[in-house]
Amino acid sequence: MTVSLRPVVDDDLETLFAFQADPVAAQLGALKVRSREAFFAHWRQTVLPNADSVVRVIEVAGAVAGSVVSFRLEASEPLSVGYLLGQAFWGRGVATEALRLFLLQHERRRPLVASVAVGNPASGRVLEKCGFVAEGLPKAAEDGVVERHFRLER
């Protein structure tokens, strides 16, 4: 299985929208599912033009498998990293390999942080395999989702 990363193009957005709209993925990732219109507007107006972010599509054997991004929620906060895969790519090491490539080839700034819903331990394992360390005890976010926080210093 060959995992690769490339820049996002507009044609990818339909597939990425479907991945975030998947009810199982949304529940596991505690995602705020956007409508199609809101998703496309968010990506076209906020995600893709943000010069501080790095955004890549994850491909497996030429198929769009998901995305991996770094972004800053607030100017005073460290960069966050996030990733999302379509269900067909779960449990195959795709997320771990994609994040590993992202950290080596595309996002070299540190520190990086990530948050994972406690109901999604597989995502926490992906982070740990890529060198992130869990910080403190899980705690509830503003939306009530209990999250585990991770950090990568080097």
> Residue 76: which CATH number?
3.40.630.30
Residue 143: per-residue pLDDT: 73
Residue 1: per-residue pLDDT: 78
Maximum CA extent, the chain: 40
* Stretch among 1-5, 88-92, 120-124, 140-144 having the lowest mean pLDDT: 140-144
Asked whether residue 16 is assigned to any structural domain, the reply reads yes
Asked whether residue 8 is assigned to any structural domain, the reply reads yes
Say whether pLDDT at 153 is over 90: yes
Q: CA 27 to CA 33: how far, in whole Å?
A: 10
Boundaries of domain holding 15: 3-108
Asked whether residue 137 is assigned to any structural domain, the reply reads no
Q: CA 75 to CA 31: how far, in whole Å?
A: 22
Residue whose C-alpha is closest to residue 69's, from 111, 3, 114: 114
Asked whether residue 128 is assigned to any structural domain, the reply reads no
Q: How many domains does the chain have?
A: 1
Residues paired with 152 in a beta bridge: 112
Asked whether residue 126 is assigned to any structural domain, the reply reads no
Say whether pLDDT at 141 is over 80: no
The chain-wide mean pLDDT, for the chain, equals 94
Residue 4: per-residue pLDDT: 98
Asked whether residue 152 is assigned to any structural domain, the reply reads no
Asked whether residue 129 is assigned to any structural domain, the reply reads no
Asked whether residue 127 is assigned to any structural domain, the reply reads no
Say whether pLDDT at 97 is over 80: yes
Averaging pLDDT over each range in 15-19, 31-35, 75-79, which range is the top one? 15-19
Residue 137: per-residue pLDDT: 83
